[in-house]
Amino acid sequence: MAIELPPPPLQRGIVNHSSFSELDIEKEAERLSTAIKQPFRWSLETCRSIAPLTLEINQLKKEKDVILIAHSYQTPDITYGVADAVADSYALSKEARDAPQNTILFSSVRFMAETAKIVSPHKTVLHPSPEAGCSLSDSITAQDVRDIRAKYPGLPVVCYINTSAEVKAECDACVTSSNYLRICERLPGNGLIFVPDRFMGKHLQNHLAGKKDVIIFDGECEVHAAFTGEKIRTWRKRASDAGMELQVLSHPECDTDVLDESDFVGSSEVLMEEALRLASAGKKDLMLITECGTTDRIIAESNEDLNLVGACVMCRHMKTTQLEDILQALRNPRPDQIIELETSVIEKASKCLDEMFRLAE
Ligand code: SF4
């Protein structure tokens, strides 16, 4: 009987430590440690061990004219060690579109790298971890969009940015968590189809009640679906019993009962801004109901002594990418690390994104 062997491990970048002096490594370790600001999880010793990687990546970016864009949910060694731009989906799609460099390395999940290719079709877009998908993006196909459109003829189809290029190519307008309410409100007509996030679809139905009918799909983000209103009530009560006045900040990919229990709702960037504003106003007991990367960024970018009550959930897809993957993709990308899309898909998906840029301004 033939035995099926597991696939070999993916080839990773190997650092030539002799390229950097001990002094270079020490300085880089201190830079990383100061930027990340988490001495227990990211000790100076840990930073010293990754310093040769960040040094070589930053050197290669300059030599090869590459902009490295990272989503907020990537780990701090990436966001504060090697990224040139860190933000949420909307800001990053603009950053990719306007970047002067000829090569974009997108440290994130697959659909985001595809979005960079759609807005910059003549540039090379590298995605170091081709296996990094997304439960929300994977919940819908282009055929699903064609089917739902046939079921509700005449209604525009709006897709969340967390979708593949093929899905965007079938839709009329794209939105992100920072602009979906406004864009859907501004679309002409008295109805629309919203895909694929059922929770954001529900918020949209509530927001547009009496003005537009909203047909929704049943996809969800496995990270934000893990939170419930019941959990928030329990955590808030525990915090209150311990003498804390907790401020709960949530992402709109969570269910309605979570948002009802929250003090503030917004996209990753907006959540970060609000957390920093609250902290400077003396409200330092904060709970972030989202992926853990947002909490890492608040720690790194706040000068206040914050009390961030742990509730965040890690996204296994976002955390797939490591510095070694980035280094290898920069040195010598494998074919599956270079984003290629059919011209017809790029053209159609680009109209869907252009509609977002037009309606969001
Ligand atoms: S947190 Fe992960 S699963 Fe959720 S939408 Fe983002 S990439 Fe997808």
352 in a domain, yes or no? no
Same domain, 24 and 125: yes
Atom of ligand 1 nearest to the CA of 134: 8
188 in a domain, yes or no? yes
Give the pLDDT confidence score for residue 95 in this predicted structure: 85
Pocket lining for ligand 1, CB < 6 angstroms: 73, 109, 134-136, 162, 221-223, 291, 315, 317-318
Where does the chain show beta strands of DSSP type E? 66-71, 85-87, 103-107, 124-126, 157-160, 173-175, 191-195, 213-216, 247-250, 264-265, 285-289, 307-308
Give the pLDDT confidence score for residue 80 in this predicted structure: 96
Whether the pLDDT of residue 5 is over 80: the answer is: no
Same domain, 21 and 128: yes
Give the pLDDT confidence score for residue 55 in this predicted structure: 97
CA 115 to ligand 1 center in whole angstroms: 15
Same domain, 156 and 215: yes
Atom of ligand 1 nearest to the CA of 222: 3
44 in a domain, yes or no? yes
Residue nearest to atom 8 of ligand 1 (CA): 134
Same domain, 63 and 76: yes
Tell which one of 71, 163, 289, 318 to mutate to probe ligand 1, the residue whose CB is within 8 A of the most ligand atoms.
Answer: 318
Domain limits for position 21? 17-132+318-337
Mean pLDDT of the chain: 92
Same domain, 213 and 240: no
d(CA 94, CA 91): 5
- Count of domains in the chain? 3
With bands split at pLDDT 50, 70 and 90, how would you rate the model's confidence at 11?
very low
Percent of the chain predicted with pLDDT > 90:
84
CA 63 to ligand 1 center in whole angstroms: 32
Same domain, 108 and 24: yes
Compute the average pLDDT of residues 11-33. Answer: 82
Whether the pLDDT of residue 9 is over 50: the answer is: no
Same domain, 37 and 99: yes
Whether the pLDDT of residue 14 is over 70: the answer is: no
145 in a domain, yes or no? yes
**Across 87-91, 135-139, 357-361, least confident range:** 87-91
CA 137 to ligand 1 center in whole angstroms: 8
8 in a domain, yes or no? no
CA 317 to ligand 1 center in whole angstroms: 7
CA 359 to ligand 1 center in whole angstroms: 25
Question: What is the DSSP secondary structure assignment for residue 43, as one 8-state letter?
Answer: -
Give the largest CA-CA distance in the chain. 69
Residue that is last in its domain, among 220, 244, 270:
220
Give the pLDDT confidence score for residue 138 in this predicted structure: 97
Where does 82-171 show beta strands of DSSP type E? 85-87, 103-107, 124-126, 157-160
Using CA of residue 80, residue 69, residue 296, residue 131, what is the dihedral sign?
A: negative
CA 135 to ligand 1 center in whole angstroms: 6
281 in a domain, yes or no? yes
Give the CATH number, domain containing residue 289. Answer: 3.40.50.10800
Quick check: helix, strand or coil at residue 349? Answer: helix
> Residue 287 corresponds to which tokens in the numbers above?
């709970």
> Side chain identity at 240, as an amino acid letter?
S
Query: Are the CB atoms for 249 and 286 separated by under 8 Å?
Result: yes
